[in-house]
């Protein structure tokens, strides 16, 4: 099963970081969040990635090329221009980097990946969030219901402390109680290839017509994940994810750091 990652958005709420690079290249520790996402999928045995590029896609291309060579020894023939890498550690990932357009919306980006995915089902992930979801259990759930789409539903971390009141008396206070929030789109899906029929073109936003129609037809199922999940929309989110990583308490880092 291939893993499609949407990595073409502008990331306007992280403007301090995304003026020079796309959002998936914003770093957690010394690696871009895109690397963390791919490492997580790889831990579960996924090694075939398709990355939908858009805004500053060349930065991602350069990173992937440099990653191959800078982690290895090199033989360079200046006269012929031949470059051979050997040794060093490199994950056995297969990556297709596909330019899906600067202003293409999320649905349109997925549609443009159709020729590279074919008739197979696939996992799709946004390029800006991390979690500790059990991907094996997610796949089994998708297989069990036979519908076109499965969406991971998560509870977002609350941004403010929660209070329970009796009149003017505060009877309970809890800081950021995740369990009291509603369920939202967690940015990971499993799709059958029929999803492409629900997307008109570049101006289609996945989160609107396609998912709304799938839900109306009973073809969209939710997989509930009530453990760790965190997006990276703001600098505050970036600092939080970095704090997890720097203290070796990153819930998504189930591989050896």
Please give the chain's pLDDT, 257 residues, in tens.
999 999 998 877 787 788 889 999 999 999 999 999 999 999 999 999 999 999 999 999 999 988 877 777 888 888 888 888 777 777 889 999 999 999 999 999 999 999 999 999 999 999 999 999 999 999 999 999 999 999 999 988 766 666 777 776 777 766 555 555 689 999 999 999 999 999 999 999 999 999 999 999 999 999 999 999 999 999 999 999 999 999 988 999 998 65
How many residues belong to the chain? 257
Give the Cβ contact number of residue 41 at 10 Å: 20
Rounded Cα distance between 200 and 139, Å, is 27
Token readout for 42 is 């790889």
User: Superfamily for 2-246?
Assistant: Spore Coat Polysaccharide Biosynthesis Protein SpsA; Chain A (3.90.550.10)
Give the HSE-up count for residue 50: Cα atoms under 13 Å, Cβ half-sphere: 21
CB 232 within 8 A of CB 241: yes
- Give φ, ψ of 234 to 5 degrees: -130, 170
Closest-CA residue to 138 (of 156, 160, 153, 118): 153
Burial class (CB in 10 A: 0-12, 13-18, 19+), 242: middle
pLDDT at 35: 96
SS (H, E, C) 62-105: HHHHHHHHHCCEEEEECCCCEEEEECCCCCCCEEEEEECCCCCC
pLDDT at residue 23, rounded to an integer = 94
Q: How far apart are CA 109 and CA 220, in angstroms?
A: 20
């Amino acid at each position: 099963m291939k893993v499609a990652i949407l990595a073409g958005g502008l990331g306007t709420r992280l403007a301090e970081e995304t003026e020079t690079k796309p959002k998936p290249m914003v770093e957690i520790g010394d690696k871009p969040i895109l690397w963390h996402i791919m490492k997580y999928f790889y831990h579960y045995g996924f090694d075939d990635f398709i990355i939908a590029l858009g805004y500053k896609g060349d930065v991602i291309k350069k990173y992937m090329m440099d990653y191959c060579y800078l982690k290895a020894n090199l033989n360079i023939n200046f006269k012929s221009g031949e470059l051979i890498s050997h040794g060093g550690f490199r994950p056995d990932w297969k990556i297709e980097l596909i330019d899906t357009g600067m202003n293409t919306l999320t649905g349109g980006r997925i549609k443009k990946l159709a020729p590279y995915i074919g008739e197979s089902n696939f996992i799709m992930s946004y390029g800006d969030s991390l979690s500790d979801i059990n991907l094996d259990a997610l796949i089994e759930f998708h297989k069990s219901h036979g519908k076109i789409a499965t969406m991971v539903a998560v509870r977002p971390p609350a941004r403010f402390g929660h209070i329970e009141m009796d009149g003017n008396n505060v009877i309970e206070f809890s800081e950021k109680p995740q369990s009291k929030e509603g369920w939202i789109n967690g940015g990971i899906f499993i799709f059958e290839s029929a999803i492409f029929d629900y997307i008109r073109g570049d101006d289609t936003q996945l989160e609107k017509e396609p998912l709304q129609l799938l839900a109306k037809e009973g073809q969209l199922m939710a997989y509930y994940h009530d453990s760790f999940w965190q997006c990276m929309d703001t600098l505050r989110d970036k600092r939080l994810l970095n704090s997890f990583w720097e203290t070796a308490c990153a819930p998504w880092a189930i591989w050896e750091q």
